[in-house]
Amino acid sequence: MAGGQGLAINGFTSAAIRVFDVTNANAVQEIAGAVAKRDDGYSVTFSLPSAGQRDLLAITDERIAKPAAIRQTRASQWRTPAHAADLIILTPKDLAASVASLVKARTAQGLHVEVADVDEIYNEFNFGGKSPQAIRERDFLQYARASWQTPPRFVLLVGDASIDPKNYLGQGDWDLMPTRMIDTSNMETASDDWFVDFDGDDVPDLAIGRLPARTSAEAALMINKIVGYDQADGSSSVMLVADNNNGFDFESASRQLSQLLPASLRVDRSTAGASMRRRRGSNCSTASIAARSWSII
């Protein structure tokens, strides 16, 4: 079609019609048009901005998706070497207040602690886009490790993650603190170690953990247990649980670990191999053996 040629599109049920030239997805242009009432609804008439084949999108306002939420963010400065932290706590803003008692406890132990709102990390390191990449390597944690006055040694993620971050399955929007899905020899699985595996050798370069809370109440419950455990008397026993020896001698590794523990501790061991041997040597049902195994663990 020639540039400036008129074109009309009808069949709309609303007068709030907008037309876009989307031929170049990186330079979308809105085209001004005249809307008219017709017997069968509404139509829009406009002129093509330029010659040649064009891809056009004509849509009414009610079909345009609305944002789930609009929140104001504050200016932050995480990309600066002025920070010093042994422990970084990454959390959504809604859960941030719940970590106060943990920050106090770790500070009392001599650690420098920084609490980062994950939305601020997205803003500074990924143009506001939610992405595990913004948290990891060439971005926030990698920068903190390489550039901060005191580089972090520990990372705590506060907030649940989901294998369905866009909630396509309709099970709930619980991807509060994203994880990374990685390929393994048998399946795809979630890995938080990926966030701190900066050299790609499949070994984390920082100690990392997660509190998979969905609400402030859940986060507070988990943190109260951690702080309470630190303040309680030391345990007099330890349990070592080893998997079945399939490709690796887990039972031997468990025995080696027990030799490194203080002699004052009572060591209890449970192994999957022993459970399987008991199963073969008895007439117990699979269900009863499984129940006993779970109760031991």
Q: What are the residue boundaries of the structural domains of the chain, listed by start?
A: 6-63, 87-230, 237-296
Of residues 280, 277, 271, 278, the one with CA closest to residue 249 = 271
A 10 A CB-CB count for 110 gives: 7
CA distance linking residue 259 with residue 217, whole number of Å: 40
d(CA 72, CA 177): 19
Please report, in tens digits, the pLDDT of each residue of the chain (297 residues total).
Answer: 555 678 899 999 999 999 999 999 999 999 999 999 988 899 999 988 777 888 999 999 988 888 878 888 788 999 999 999 999 999 999 999 999 999 999 999 999 999 999 999 999 999 888 999 899 855 899 999 999 999 999 999 999 999 999 899 999 999 999 999 998 888 889 999 999 999 989 899 999 999 999 999 999 999 999 999 998 888 899 999 999 888 899 999 999 999 999 999 999 989 886 655 554 454 443 333 333 333 332
Task: Please tell me the CATH superfamily of domain 87-230, with its number.
Answer: Gingipain r; domain 1 (3.40.50.10390)
> At 142, which helix (H) or strand (E)?
helix 140-147
Q: For the whole model, what pTM was predicted?
A: 0.70
